[in-house]
Amino acid sequence: MKEKLQSIKDKALQQIGVAEGLESLNDVRVAILGKKGELTSVLKSMKDVAPEDRPKVGQMVNEVRAEIEKVLEEKKTAFEKKLREEKMKAETIDVTLPAKKPMVGHRHPNTIALEEIERIFIGMGYEVVEGPEVEYDYYNFEALNIPANHPAKDEQDTFYINKDIVLRTQTSSTQVHELEKGKLPIRMIAPGRVYRSDEVDATHSPTFHQVEGLVVDKNVTFADLKGTLQQFAKEIFGEDTKVKFRPHHFPFTEPSAEMDVSCFKCGGKGCRFCKGEGWIEILGCGMVHPHVLEMSGVNPEEYVGFAFGVGLERIALLKYEIDDMRLLYENDARFLKQF
Ligand code: DAH
């Protein structure tokens, strides 16, 4: 028995000695001390030992076990220490390396242009309001004098939520909301996102932004409209900017016009920027149609109004001389940082 225990111990110590890592160490432990291990089976065969010898043999087994466990534990601690040291080495931090700078964002050209427009109109006493992007067909079309079969509805095809609800095609719908509140006079601008069923190209996008303007008061005239928009053009494109109004048609204004600004690049002589025209179209406007006032509960005998709608991207693209609208939506920080 004694020789057997001695040989188990020698074998165990030899195997522990050559073990190369925690895993092989564990294999040794299982093979010797585990449930089916060699030393355990010696304990199990105690019943074959003469009763008077049992305490002695038991004590020997325990001593061998304790010794193997001790050596196993020492070796395990040594392996763990080595592992920890290797890990620490691999994770060394070079405190002299330059720090990574956090990426700071930049205001979008649309946002910069919008803040500029808001500043100009707030300066003239306007209020900034907002309306819903998901809108009743009534507010987007009907109440703006665009009945169901009107051809203007074709030009502004949009996304229908259902028969009565659309993604608004124009911020002009906010005019109706403001008129319906019945708080007069009105002097407001309403910026926001609009939607059209358009293909993406350098000048089109299915979502873009407009800034609507509406003034309703007694004794408002077309001269007020012209003066206001001329002042706006000068502030946004420079003091030398001239404006030109061309007759146009919008269902919700009468008379209606489109406003051009003199090309701020060539001063009106004609260049690549204004496609040789000397003028650049920037907005639609007109005197609010009496029918529009009436439908929203404002008496057209007593009140008059003018309105305008500017494409925000158009202003941003012109102001920053960007030639492709798609760049505004990619949000590449290298592009945005330039403005
Ligand atoms: N809503 C028009 C559009 O989307 C722009 C517009 C034209 C707005 C004339 C107006 C206006 O308020 O008076 O093309």
Q: How does pLDDT run across 198-208, given as a tens digit for each residue?
A: 899 988 999 99
SS3 310: strand
Q: Are 283 and 184 in contact (CB under 8 A)?
A: no
pLDDT surpasses 90 at 162: yes
Give, as one character, the DSSP assignment of residue 149. Answer: T
User: pLDDT confidence of 28, banded at 50, 70, 90?
Assistant: confident
Tens digits of residue pLDDT in 108-126: 999 999 999 999 999 999 9
- For all residues of the chain together, what is the average pLDDT? 93
Q: 312-319 and 222-237 helices cross at what angle (nearest 10)?
A: 40
User: Looking at ligand 1, which atom is closest to the CA of residue 156?
Assistant: 4
SS3 151: coil
- 27-36, 121-130, 207-216: which range is least confident on average? 27-36
Strands 253-262 and 186-195: unpaired
Q: Which among 36, 58, 33 has a CA at the least distance from the CA of 47? A: 58
User: Looking at ligand 1, which atom is closest to the CA of residue 171?
Assistant: 1
**Residue 205: CB within 6 Å of ligand 1?**
no
Closest residue by Cα to atom 6, ligand 1, is 309
**Residue 251: CB within 6 Å of ligand 1?**
no
Closest residue by Cα to atom 7, ligand 1, is 284
Residue 273, CA distances (Å) to 6, 266, 276, 314, 318 in order: 98, 8, 7, 13, 9
User: What ranges do the domains of the chain cover?
Assistant: 2-90, 109-336
CATH architecture of 109-336: 2-Layer Sandwich (3.30)
Distance 284 CA to ligand 1 centre (A): 5
Closest residue by Cα to atom 5, ligand 1, is 309
In 3-state terms the chain splits into helix, strand, coil percentages (rounded to 5) of 45, 20, 35
The span from the CA of 77 to the CA of 57, in Å, is 30
**Residue 309: CB within 6 Å of ligand 1?**
yes
- How far from chain centre, in Å, is Cα 314? 22
Q: What is the pTM of this model?
A: 0.72
Q: Are 307 and 252 in contact (CB under 8 A)?
A: yes
pLDDT given for residue 238 in this prediction: 94
Closest residue by Cα to atom 13, ligand 1, is 285
**Residue 212: CB within 6 Å of ligand 1?**
yes
Which region, left, alpha or beta, applies to residue 331 given φ > 0 means left and ψ of -120 to 50 means alpha? left
pLDDT given for residue 188 in this prediction: 98
pLDDT given for residue 57 in this prediction: 83
**Residue 286: CB within 6 Å of ligand 1?**
yes
- For the segment 30-49, the average pLDDT, to the nearest whole number, is 85
Q: Are 242 and 265 in contact (CB under 8 A)?
A: no
CB within 8 Å of 198: residues ≥ 6 apart: 204, 205, 206
Distance 274 CA to ligand 1 centre (A): 22
**Residue 170: CB within 6 Å of ligand 1?**
yes
